[in-house]
Every structure is written in C-alpha cells, then in structure tokens.
Structure 1
Amino acid sequence: MDILFDPALIERHRHRAWRFGDRQAHFLLDIAATEIAERIAIVERHFDSAIELHGATGITARRVLETGKVGSITRIETSRDFLPDDGTAKVASLEDLALEPASSNLVISPLSLHLTNDTPGTLIQIRKALKPDGLFLAALPGSGTLQELRDVLLATEAELLGGASPRVIPFADVRDIGALLQRAGFALPVTDTETYTVRYDSIFPLMRDLRAMGMANPLLGRSRTPLTRLFFMRAAEIYAQRYSDADGRIRATFSIIYMSGWAPHESQQKPLKPGSANVRLADVLKGKNLDQS
C-alpha cells in the first residue's frame, strides 16, 4: 500500500479549519450534506441507527435527521473538539474507525474518504459495520477538482524554480470508486458525479477557502521549501490569464463523487448484465455554478 498522506498533518489542518470557523468556506460540505440527505429521503425505508463519519461540522448528520428517515445518528470524529458533549459521539481516526460489526443500518461519509491512505481497507470496515441490507452513502472530491489550481501552481513553480512538486493532492476517478466499492464487498454499487464551478476575485480568496476547509496540502511528498509572496503573485497572474471570465473573476472546479452501496442481503435484486442499461449516466449528471467572494 502506497502511503500518500501525512495523517498528523491532516489532523492539524482539520483542527486549524475548525478553529478558524469560517462558515462561508463550508459551502462544499453544505452541498454534500444536502445531496446526501436528498438521496436518503427518496429511499423507501426507515433506518433505525446511523453513523456519520468525520463530518466536521455535523451538518450532514443534522440534514439526514431532518428527513425523518433515520431514528438516531452517532457522529464519529478524529477529536472531541468537533463533537457535542452529550455522550452520543465517538472518537476514531480517519482509517481505524473502531466500528462494531453489523451495528448500523446506515453509514454516511461526507468529504473525508479522499484523505485515507488505505481507502479499500476503510471501505471494508464500513461494509462490515453495516447490518445486512444496510446502506452506505458518501461524498468525496473526484478527478477534476482544483484542476485549474494544479495547473497554475505547476506552471509557476516550473517558471520560477525550474522544477515542480505536488501541491494539489490526486483525486480519484469515478470509475475507480465504483471498482473500490465492489472490491470492498458492497452490493448494488452506484457512483455519479456533480461538478461545481466556483468563481473568485483572485487566487488569494480561493487559497483562503481551501485552508478554512482543511484542504491544505497533506502529501508526504510535498516540498518543504516555503513559497514566497513573489511566487503567489506570479501564480495569481497566470491563473487570471488562463482561467478568468470576462468580468475578471477566476474559476475553480470542484467535482464531487457520490457513492452508495448496500451490505449484501438475499432479498436484494441482482445487478443487470453489462450492456443492458438503457439510460446513460451522462444524461443525468448536472453542472452547477457558484460565486464566492
């Protein structure tokens, strides 16, 4: 297993974002929470017990409870700092979830799985924690996310420093996520993507939002050389040249993969044979535009 991320650094980034408390920067988490809740709302069943994995603000747990489809939710976080002091929450790392086998009807994971080094192992833990015919539903950033920023930082570093190092983490492709669900033993796996284009005045409020989201670079292979103001000024110029609209505002892409799968049960329908579907996934995907100041 390749180790890409520094878990201790991820935790520091998440805590810094929590202390910073910029509510406006939580827009992606709010979007994922609403989408997850809407998908649960149309499932024709009631879930007695649910688990929210590393939802930071807890907005996803609250939105899911508002659907009336869930009896109770246990929140799991990496630190008590994120959790209410009411005895209903637990502490566990992003990868060692400490979940009891067959303990829940529903597990939701909003925007945290992309930071796991052993994603297949994490998914297996989640599947084992579900009761038979239990549902897993998650959102995570996918390929295409921050593609403009990745391009700009690579170009700036090559121009000013004569080389390049990874400054934006790699994001999974939706097809890879579907394969991981199958590998982890989920039945009836489904994945799709929603793409959001967010506009900013410049690269600087974008970088501010990423820090406030806890999305600063946690790669073990990251460069340890501090970047100068000159670097970011040049990056802002390149960003504006390559990815700005007529009004001068720049674009940032966030591509969110929504994934679901069921713990196997004999009552479940069998999947269709390959090639027998009559609706293309592309026909149901939607594009959205957001503005961030």
Structure 2
Amino acid sequence: MSQKSAMNIFDRTAKKRQRNVTAMAQNYQVFNYLKDEVGFRLSDRVFDINRKFKCGLDLGCGYGHVSQHLSQDAIEELIMCDHSEMVLEKAIGPEDSSVKYRKVVADEESLPFEANSFDLVVSSMSLHWVNQLPNTFSQIMKCLRPDGVFIGAVFGGDTLFELRGALQLGEIEREGGFAAHVSPFTAIRDVGGLLNQAGFTMLTIDTDEIRVGYPSMFELMADLKGMGENNASWIRKLHLHRDTMFASSAIYKEMYGNDDGTIPATFQIIYMIGWKPDPSQPKPLERGTGNVSIKDIYRLEEAVKEATDKIVKQTAKEIDPSDATDGKSR
C-alpha cells in the first residue's frame, strides 16, 4: 500500500466501484445536476468552433453529460467511452438521431484507440481521477488527427474548499489531528504546462465557479456520493467519527453559512482547449517583428483613436468633390 501511495494518488478500482454503486441506484439521475450543467457548457465550446467534425470521442462520458447535447451540426460520428460498464450502459447518446454513436468500455489511463483516429476529443469531469495525467494527455494527442482538437473540463484546486476546511477543523477539535477527506485537484497553473508538455498548441484555458446551496454538510456529502465523487485516494480515511461530523457541520455553517440558513459549496471548473499541431495552423510571428512595444500598452486607447482618425481623414480625401452635394464617393 505504501508503494502504491508513493506512485499513484487514486485507487482506480475503488473509484470504479463507487461509480458502479451510483449506477445501481434507481434515482441516479437526481445527482447529475452538476455534471449535466458542466457538460452543457462544454458542448457550447464545441459549437463555438466553426467546423463539423467527422469522428469524435467522449472520454469518460459518464451518463452522457456532453454527448446528449451534440448534434449533426457539430459531429457526424461519436464514440462514448467510460471506465465503468454499468455507468456506460445508462449513458444517454446524442438527442440528434442523425449522429451515429457507439459505446466502448475503456480506462482513461490506457486508451485502446489507434493513432490519428479522431478529429475531436472531449472529456468532462473525469480526468481529475486519473493518476498519470501527462500520460493521458499524450495518449489523447496520439489519438487525434493533425489539426484535431481536445476540449476538456476538470475540477480545479479550489473545489469544495469550504468542506475541506470544515472537516479539518472539526477533526482537529475532536480527534487532535486530521486526514485527507477531499481528494486533491489539479491547479490551473499546472494544466497549461501539462498540455504543452504533451505537444498541444494554441491553448485556451479558463475557469468558472459554480456555487450550490445545501441545507447542511450532510446533504452535500450525500450528493457527492450520489455523483460518484466521494474520495478515492489511497490515503483516504475509511471512517469518519459521528462526533467529528457534527462538529464539522457546525463549523461549516458558522464559517460559510448563508443568511437563509443554507451552506454554499464551491465547485471550480477548469476548461481547456488544445490543438494537435498541423502545418495549416497559424504560426506566431518571429521575435522582434512587433510594431508596438508592450511597455506602451497603457496607450492602447490613444493608439486606437489615432488609427480611427487616420482612417476618417483618408476616407475624406477619397470623396469626389463633384459628388459632394449628394454625398456619393468613388
């Protein structure tokens, strides 16, 4: 166990088991609200790209949080894959019946697809459970065709900071120490470096925050379990004492509680877009070819005004004097 802890962060077998449990629940759809919202926002980024993709991959598709929103306008054929066969069985495919799709059971850490297979790879809310994220990014790069694009979303480092702090303080108060009850998440400063290291170009990375209100910490923890987002790190503590939970709940409400008696839970979402290099892509200009120095950036508004005045004067000179009475120009 100590060797596994040193090499890996997450117990992938435990995570698969946790997600299988969610799929067996009759009301599993009740807990999809957060992932459905992120999936919808991620699908918007697909439609923002002015291109129709021939073949795409939804990596770690879950219950079809992204796939269900994709239409014939964006993609012709889609492969949905997930580590959990039980979750994949209940995944919703594209609502547009003209989009061909099929399901494949696959582990995000070991992709079974051939090189240059896809024009598009999307992944929503699954890669934060991957141990070797650089290796997964490299496999995604290999699966993409030249000028293919990867669009992903993962939980950021500030996710559930309220829950993490309340549990730590409650456990210190009741037990004299604390353990990790919230899994570690990727920091936004690291995502760009990892994508760059894998060979992606023209990177776009941004963050978003979704705050959800809950009656108490217990409903929040129940929903996280229903989502399959309960802790799966190797060093997780398997038992949380009753007294510690009540103390943590009181601390949570005291430190972060809303005026209406509810508590907020913050989910930081990191969105990323990266392209596989291709000769047809625009290239950055060479160093020293810029016309404006960065030290003059404060003069941006002034420079825009000067350029506008220059265009107006040039346009005025081009007006034919013979047509000045009726306002016509050459």
Q: Would you call these one fold, judging by a TM-score over 0.5?
A: yes
**1:97 Cα deviation (Å)?**
1.4
Deviations 1:48-78 (A, max 9, x none): 00001111101311212x3621001101111
Cα distance in 2 between the residues matched to 1:93 and 1:177: 21
Q: Partner of 2:179 in structure 1?
A: 165
Q: Is the 8 A contact 2:125 2:154 kept in 1?
A: yes
Cα distance in 2 between the residues matched to 1:151 and 1:273: 47
Match of 1:246 among 259, 273, 276: 259
Q: Is the 8 A contact 1:174 1:257 kept in 2?
A: yes
The aligned amino acid for 1:68 is: D
Q: Partner of 1:146 in structure 2?
A: 160
Q: Partner of 2:194 in structure 1?
A: 180
Cα distance in 2 between the residues matched to 1:247 and 1:87: 45
Q: Does the residue aligned with 1:197 lie in a helix, a strand or coil?
A: strand
**1:130 Cα deviation (Å)?**
0.3
Match of 2:282 among 264, 269, 272: 269
Q: Is the 8 A contact 2:119 2:149 kept in 1?
A: yes
Q: Partner of 2:56 in structure 1?
A: 50
**1:23 Cα deviation (Å)?**
2.0
Q: Does the residue aligned with 2:31 lie in a helix, a strand or coil?
A: helix
Deviations 1:270-289 (A, max 9, x none): 2578996x8xxxxxxxxxxx
Q: Does the residue aligned with 1:107 lie in a helix, a strand or coil?
A: strand
Match of 2:66 among 60, 70, 94: 60
Cα distance in 2 between the residues matched to 1:212 and 1:36: 22
The aligned amino acid for 1:172 is: T
Q: Partner of 1:77 in structure 2?
A: 82
Match of 2:233 among 213, 216, 219: 219
Cα distance in 1 between the residues matched to 2:89 and 2:229: 23
Cα distance in 2 between the residues matched to 1:241 and 1:105: 49
Task: Please give the TM-score of this superposition, normalised by the length of structure 1.
Answer: 0.89
**1:84 Cα deviation (Å)?**
4.5
The aligned amino acid for 1:199 is: G
Q: Which runs of 5+ in 1 are unaligned?
A: 279-293
Q: Partner of 2:310 in structure 1?
A: none
Kindly indicate whether structure 1 or structure 2 has the higher relative contact order, using CA contacts under 8 Å at least 6 residues apart: 1
**1:210 Cα deviation (Å)?**
0.3
Q: Does the residue aligned with 1:99 lie in a helix, a strand or coil?
A: coil
Q: Which runs of 5+ in 2 are unaligned?
A: 1-5, 91-99, 288-292, 298-330
CA RMSD of aligned residues (A): 2.1
Q: Is the 8 A contact 2:209 2:266 kept in 1?
A: yes
Q: Does the residue aligned with 1:89 lie in a helix, a strand or coil?
A: strand
The aligned amino acid for 2:161 is: Q
Provide closer, same or farther for how the CA distance between residues 22 and 80 of structure 1 changes in structure 2, counting only shifts above 3 A: closer
**Identity of paired residues, percent?**
35
State whether structure 2 residue 23 is matched by structure 1 residue 18: yes
Number of residues of Structure 1 aligned to a counterpart in Structure 2? 275
The aligned amino acid for 1:167 is: H
Moved more, 173-182 or 121-130: 173-182
Q: Does the residue aligned with 1:75 lie in a helix, a strand or coil?
A: strand
State whether structure 2 residue 4 is matched by structure 1 residue 4: no
Provide closer, same or farther for how the CA distance between residues 84 and 220 of structure 1 changes in structure 2, counting only shifts above 3 A: closer
Cα distance in 2 between the residues matched to 1:271 and 1:216: 43
**1:22 Cα deviation (Å)?**
2.9
**1:187 Cα deviation (Å)?**
1.2
Q: Is the 8 A contact 1:41 1:67 kept in 2?
A: no
**1:129 Cα deviation (Å)?**
0.1
Cα distance in 2 between the residues matched to 1:245 and 1:67: 43
Richer in helix (by share): 2
The aligned amino acid for 2:66 is: T
Provide closer, same or farther for how the CA distance between residues 252 and 272 of structure 1 changes in structure 2, counting only shifts above 3 A: farther
Cα distance in 2 between the residues matched to 1:272 and 1:28: 41
The aligned amino acid for 1:208 is: A
Deviations 1:17-53 (A, max 9, x none): 2222432321221112111111111211110000011
Q: Partner of 1:285 in structure 2?
A: none
